[in-house]
Every structure is written in structure tokens, then in C-alpha cells.
Structure 1
Amino acid sequence: MRYKILCSDLDGTLLSTKSDVSTYAIEQINKIKNDTRIILVSARMPNAMRYIQESLGITNQTIICYNGALVLSGQQELNSVVIPINLLKEIYSICIDLDADLGLYYSNEWYVPKTSIRVEKETKYTKTTPTFESTSTTLSNWEQRKIGAHKIMLMCTKESADKLMPRLKEKFSDELNLYRSNDTLIEIAPKSVSKLSAIKLVMDSNESLEDIIAFGDNYNDIEMLENVGFGVAVENAREEVKAISKYVTLKNTEDGVAHFIEEHLVN
């Protein structure tokens, strides 16, 4: 197999732990990175991806952040799409009487109203630090700066997420991507972008989707895996993801991506 570009999701896919890429994965990517562009594609913020790029020795490559809402080449923005402030205010008004905190992300900025187990986990696993301030303060500051959110992470209880998800879908499904990543987390992103749309943006004129191999594990990877030349799911992926993939490799905790690279991509 020869591909011009390898795109990989991070959490649950390329990362064999909650936060780091393994020595084995680094070794295998080192074997192909001179002939294959390695592009990391994640819901993470840039700083939560940069240290992984550094570990892999691919800081010269583009990164796709926030599921495609922010695409960076070095410090240069290739694309940036945000959720506008008016929608942020509406979402906040719906959440304010429920047990749900808004994590608001813009570029390398991350704002939360208070700490929690979820915030502490995110800080530990992504090696990033939030700013603690009330959501109303953040929204007021952002309105003055004329910026919006690349991503919203709604941190809920199961009960509040059960109530919020149908309300949010009914009101915002035409404008926003709403994705329940587990019982207590709802991720919200601009509707006009996706991992696939961002990949198309960074392709050179002499490259096609057939020239790309991609790896993923979750619902937000399906479109990417379905449309590239070869989509690979890890064994721990959602069943729907494995069903549309051309190949299922080992679990992320067993270095499935690295094993696939060694077995199929290394000459």
C-alpha cells in the first residue's frame, strides 16, 4: 500500500494511552513520514496536539483541530470557522437552569466556569490549562473581541444531557453539529465543517481522496473514513465505525495504528 497522506484521529485511535503516543508508534511513523504526509485530525485544541506532533517529529505538517473548525500550518490559519456569539448566548440560556457547564474553546483559549472531575481529566490528558471565569463573563469578553467558539463542550449529568440533547437538536440542528460523546458530554461544532472538509482543504492539487489513508474510532470519524481511499478503524471503535471501514486493526491500547503501518505501509 502506498498513500500520499495519512490522517489519524488521536484519542482512542493513535494514542495508546489517554495522553501520549507510544515509542512503537513513533518508530513506525518515522519509517514513512519522509514519503507520506502525516496529518493529525482531532477535536482537540492546537496546544493539545502540538506536543504529539513534536513527539512524532512532524511539526512541519498541517494540523486539523476542533474536528475541522480550525486548520493550522505552523502559526498560520488556513481555515477558521466559529460558532457566533448569538448562538453561544442562546445555548447558555438553555443550559443555565440545568446542571450543565459550558467549556468554551477558541484557538488556544479554553474557558470553564469552575473545576470538576471532567475539567481535571481534560487538563491531565491534553496537557492544557483552562481559564476559570463565569460563562457570562467569557461571552461578554468575546462579544467585545468579536470572536466565537471553535468548539463547545457541555459538561452535564446524564439526566441533564438527556434533557438537553433533544432541545438542542430541535433548535440548532440546521446550524450546528451536536455530538454526544458519552452519557455526560455533548460536543458542539459549526455545521459547515468536518474532518473531511478540512482534509479536502489541505490537499494539494495533485492529490485526491484516493491518495489518503485514515484511522479513527468514533462517530465524528465516519465521514472521513468512508470517503478517503482507505479507512481503518481500531478494534475499540464504535460498531458503526467498524461497519463502514475497509479494515479493522488492533485496539488503540494495543497500538493498532502502528501495527497497521508496520504490516501494510512500511516498504
Structure 2
Amino acid sequence: MKYKILCSDLDGTLLSTKSDVSDFTIAEVSRIRKETKIILVSARMPRSMTYLQRRLGIEHEPIICYNGALVLDGETEIASTLIDLHHVTQIHTMADALLIKLGLYYKDEWYVEEDTERVQKEILYTRATPIFRATSETISDWKDRKASAHKIMLMGTKETADILYPLLVENFSESLNLYRSNDTLIEVAPKSVSKLSAIKQLLNEGSTINDVISFGDNYNDIEMLKYSGYGVAVGNAREEVKAIAKSITLKNTEHGVAQFIKEHLL
């Protein structure tokens, strides 16, 4: 089995722990990286991905951040799609009424209102540090800079997320991708982009989506796996992801991506 491009999700897929790749994964990527383009595809911000590129020896390759909302090749911005700032303001108002906090992401900037256990976990897992300030201040700053969010992370409880999520779907489903990453977290991204659309932007002349093998575990990986030349789900993937995958490998904690590379990629 041979593919020109390998695209992999990070959290729950390529990462064997919450924040790092295994030596086995590094070795297998190293074995194929001269013949195969390795592209990391994630909901993470750039600086939470570039340290992994360095670990894997693929700093020269592009990265797909924020589920496709920001595509970078080194310092070069290939594509950038922002959430309308008016929508950011509306979502803030709705979340604030339920005491749900916002994490706001723009390029390599990350803003949160207060230091919480959830924020500390994010700092630990992604090796990034946020700027602490009121969301209203960030929105005002972005208005002056003509900026906005590549991604919004809504952090509440299961009960408040259960209330807010259907309200967001009712009001924003036509313009935003709304993704519940777990019981307490809701991720928001522009509707017009996805991991798949970003991958297509990076295809060179002579390459098609059929030349891509992709790996993932969660709902935001389904489209990428379904339409790639070959889509592989890790063993810990959601059942809906496994259902559309062409193959299922070991769990991420068992180095499933590396094991598949070892067994199937020349």
C-alpha cells in the first residue's frame, strides 16, 4: 500500500498520550517521510502543533489548524477563515447567561476569562499559554484590529452544555460548524471549511484526494476519512467513525497509526 500524502488527526489519534507522540510513531513516520508527505490535521492552534512537527521531523510540511479554518506552510498563511465577529458576540451573550466560559482562538492567540481546571488541562496537553482577560475586551480588541475567531471553545457543565448546544444549532447551524467534543465542551468553527476542504487546498498538481490516506477518531474526522483514498479509524474511535472507515487499527494509546504504517505502508 502506497500513498503520496498521509493526513492524521492528533488528539485521540496520532498522540499516544494527551500531549505527545511515541518513539514508535516517530520511528515509523521517519521511515516513510521522504516518500510520503505527512500533514497534521487538528482542531489545535499552530503552536500546539509545531512542537509535534519538530518531534516527528516534518517541520517543512504544512499544517491544518482549527479543523481547516487556518492552513499554514511555515510562516506562510495558505488560507484563513474567520467566524463573523457579530456571531462571536451573540454566542458570548448566550453562553454568559448560562455561566459558560469562552476560549477564543485567533491565529496563535488564545484568550480565556479565568484560570480553571479545564484551562490548566489545556495548557498541559497543548503546551500553549492563554492570555487572561474578559471576553468583551477581546471582542473589542478584535473589532479594532478587524480580526475574529478561528475557533471558539465553550466550557461549561454537562447540564449547561445540554441547554446551550441545541440553541446554538437552532441559531447558527447554517453558518457555523458546531461540534460537541465531550459532555462539557462545545467547539465552534466556520461552516465553510473542514479538514477535508483544507486537505484539498494543499493538493499539488498531479495529486488528488485519492492519493491521501487519513487517520482519525472523532466526528470532525468523518468527512476526511470517508472521502480520502483510504480512511483509517483508530480502535478508540467513535462507532460512527469506524462505520465509514476502510480499516480499523489499534487504539491511539497502543500506537495504532504507527502500527498501521508499519504493517501496510511501504
Q: Report the TM-score, using the length of structure 2 for normalisation.
A: 0.99
Distance in 2 between the 1:160 and 1:207 partners? 45
Distance in 2 between the 1:86 and 1:5 partners? 37
Distance in 2 between the 1:259 and 1:95 partners? 42
| Aligned residue runs from structure 1 range 8-47, under 5 A | 8-47=8-47
1:58 aligns with 2:58: yes
Letter of the structure 2 residue corresponding to residue 200 of structure 1: K
How much has 1:85 moved relative to structure 2?
1.0
Once the two structures are superposed, residues 201-258 of structure 1 have per-residue CA deviations (whole angstroms, 9 ceiling, x without a partner) of 0000100111010000000000000000100000000000000000000000000000
Distance in 1 between the 2:221 and 2:109 partners? 24
How much has 1:99 moved relative to structure 2?
2.1
Question: Which structure 2 segments of 5+ residues have no match?
Answer: none
Count of aligned residue pairs for this structure pair? 266
Distance in 2 between the 1:158 and 1:230 partners? 35
Other-structure match for 1:200: 200
Other-structure match for 2:2: 2
| C-alpha contact 1:210 1:229 (8 A) present in aligned 2 | yes
How much has 1:134 moved relative to structure 2?
0.4
- RMSD of aligned C-alpha atoms? 0.5
Where 2:154 maps in the other structure, the secondary structure is: strand
Letter of the structure 2 residue corresponding to residue 197 of structure 1: S
How much has 1:117 moved relative to structure 2?
1.0
Where 1:152 maps in the other structure, the secondary structure is: strand
Where 1:174 maps in the other structure, the secondary structure is: coil
Where 2:181 maps in the other structure, the secondary structure is: strand
Where 1:16 maps in the other structure, the secondary structure is: coil
Other-structure match for 1:130: 130
Distance in 1 between the 2:241 and 2:39 partners? 20
Other-structure match for 2:226: 226
Letter of the structure 1 residue corresponding to residue 265 of structure 2: L
Other-structure match for 1:84: 84
Other-structure match for 2:118: 118
Where 2:28 maps in the other structure, the secondary structure is: helix
Distance in 1 between the 2:164 and 2:68 partners? 24
Distance in 2 between the 1:147 and 1:223 partners? 28
1:172 aligns with 2:172: yes
Letter of the structure 2 residue corresponding to residue 55 of structure 1: R
Q: Report the TM-score, using the length of structure 1 for normalisation.
A: 0.99
How much has 1:162 moved relative to structure 2?
0.6
Other-structure match for 2:71: 71
